[in-house]
């Protein structure tokens, strides 16, 4: 059946939760304020009404204990979904994640499994500042026993979430707030996107951008601009941070000869270094230019807009890097349209 239905990323998450909770009574959703009138930016709409407060509830502001509740509930037989409205707040649960949830299966010789899903939202725009904007995927992906995904498209938002819920391991899903408005084709019936696979978001022949989360949107804009100059950009959405699929990006880098890793995070000791190292290990001498890494400025995220603009790399950054790598002249981009969250979102938060 051809799929023509267009829905938002937010609706895709909501639909996955609804359908999975219908399917499996052991699934419950909980976290700070999930049951308030805003329902986690709308992603939890209708769940309280359909499934009641037993399976959809707000908790005390106790991230540490609530993550432990997920661990204990999961080993005892439930399938918890713990929601954090910002990745920054998830850090309060880091002890549970790193010391209990991720290693307990190994430490119990496989007797205990933790089928726990953690959803955490990445903030950006209208002055989110240095405590509402973190992503930290490399920090989480560093820990053995934890799976980490970052869906970009509405299709993946639904498919990866359903896979995460059905997986018998702890899975962290990092959802970008600005992606909540992204629209795309999503089948109505439940489906899965396997964890651990990258995806060709845009096929191309001249240069590869391997991107995570929101950087895929920026890469798309860059590709549109470069297309006018007859440069065909291939975009690989990394999608799964742990396990990391380095095969697809390596193949693409060999094909185009040029690779830019655009990670939506800081560069230092980050995912971009991991991807770069893995690609070099496999095909260093087949590349036409050294791999370029793009990420946040090495600072805390500033609040004021002019500095925030400098903090985040975007499509323009990518265009300039592509020009350098391919030896092209610096184009005039003054007529190009770049993303501005004000088109979608005006404060106050």
Alpha helices in the chain (DSSP H): 9-23, 47-51, 63-75, 87-90, 94-95, 104-107, 137-141, 154-166, 215-227, 246-256, 271-283, 305-311, 315-326
Q: How far apart are CA 311 and CA 323, in angstroms?
A: 21
Please say whether the beta carbons of 141 and 244 come within 8 A. Answer: yes
Contact status: 144 vs another protein (CB under 8 A): yes
Contact status: 298 vs another protein (CB under 8 A): no
Nearer to another protein, 78 or 179 (CB): 78
Contact status: 348 vs another protein (CB under 8 A): no
Give the C-alpha distances (Å, rounded to integers) separating 328 from 231, 322, 323: 10, 8, 5
Q: How far apart are CA 276 and CA 291, in angstroms?
A: 7
Structure tokens at 55: 């399976």
Contact status: 252 vs another protein (CB under 8 A): no
Question: Residue 132 catalytic?
Answer: yes
**Binding another protein by CB under 8 A: which of 4, 37, 49, 110?**
110
Residues 79-98 that bind another protein (CB under 8 A): 80, 95-96
Piece of 3-11, 72-80, 281-289, 313-321 that binds another protein (CB under 8 A): 72-80
Per-residue binding letters, 152-171, with another protein (x by CB under 8 A)? ---------------xxx--
Nearer to another protein, 17 or 104 (CB): 104
Please say whether the beta carbons of 82 and 117 come within 8 A. Answer: yes
Q: How far apart are CA 238 and CA 342, in angstroms?
A: 27
**Binding another protein by CB under 8 A: which of 4, 37, 111, 330?**
111
Contact status: 52 vs another protein (CB under 8 A): no
Contact status: 36 vs another protein (CB under 8 A): no
Beta sheet of 199-202, edge-to-edge order: 199-202, 233-237, 207-211, 259-266, 292-296
| Peptide bond preceding 348 in cis form (omega within 30 of 0) | yes
Which one of 37, 84, 132, 258 is the catalytic residue? 132
Taking the complex as a whole, how short is the minimal distance between the CB of residue 114 and another protein, in angstroms?
9
Residues that bind another protein (CB under 8 A): 26, 28, 54, 59-60, 62, 64-78, 80, 95-96, 99-100, 104-113, 115, 144-145, 147, 167-169
Catalytic residues: 132
């Amino acid at each position: 059946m051809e799929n023509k239905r267009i829905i938002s990323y937010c609706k895709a998450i909501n639909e996955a939760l609804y359908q999975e909770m219908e399917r499996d009574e052991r699934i419950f959703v909980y976290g700070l304020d999930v049951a308030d009138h805003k329902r986690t930016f709308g992603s939890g709409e209708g769940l309280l009404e359909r499934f009641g407060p037993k399976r959809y509830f707000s908790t005390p502001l106790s991230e540490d204990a609530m993550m432990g509740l997920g661990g204990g509930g999961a080993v005892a037989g439930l399938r918890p979904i713990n929601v954090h409205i910002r990745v920054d707040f998830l850090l309060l649960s880091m002890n549970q994640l790193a010391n209990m949830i991720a290693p307990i299966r190994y430490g119990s010789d496989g007797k205990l499994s933790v089928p726990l899903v953690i959803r955490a939202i990445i903030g950006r725009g209208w002055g989110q500042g240095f405590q509402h904007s973190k992503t930290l995927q490399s920090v989480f992906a560093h820990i053995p026993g934890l799976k980490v995904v970052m869906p970009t498209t509405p299709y993946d938002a639904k498919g990866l979430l359903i896979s995460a819920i059905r997986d018998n391991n702890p899975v962290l899903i990092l959802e970008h707030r600005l992606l909540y408005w992204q629209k795309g084709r999503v089948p109505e019936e439940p489906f899965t996107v396997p964890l651990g696979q990258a995806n060709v978001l845009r096929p191309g022949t001249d240069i590869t951008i391997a991107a995570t989360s929101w950087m895929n949107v920026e890469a798309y804009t860059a590709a549109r601009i470069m297309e006018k100059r007859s440069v065909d950009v291939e975009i690989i959405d990394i999608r799964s941070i742990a396990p990391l699929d380095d095969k697809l990006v390596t193949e693409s880098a060999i094909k185009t000869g040029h690779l830019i890793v655009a990670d939506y995070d800081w560069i230092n000791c980050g995912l971009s270094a991991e991807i770069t190292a893995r690609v070099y290990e496999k095909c260093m001498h087949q590349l036409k230019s050294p791999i370029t890494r793009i990420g946040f400025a090495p600072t805390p995220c500033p609040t004021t807009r002019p500095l925030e603009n400098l903090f985040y790399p975007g499509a323009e950054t990518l265009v300039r890097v592509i020009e350098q790598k391919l030896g092209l002249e610096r184009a005039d981009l003054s007529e190009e349209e770049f993303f501005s969250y004000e088109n979608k979102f005006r404060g106050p938060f």
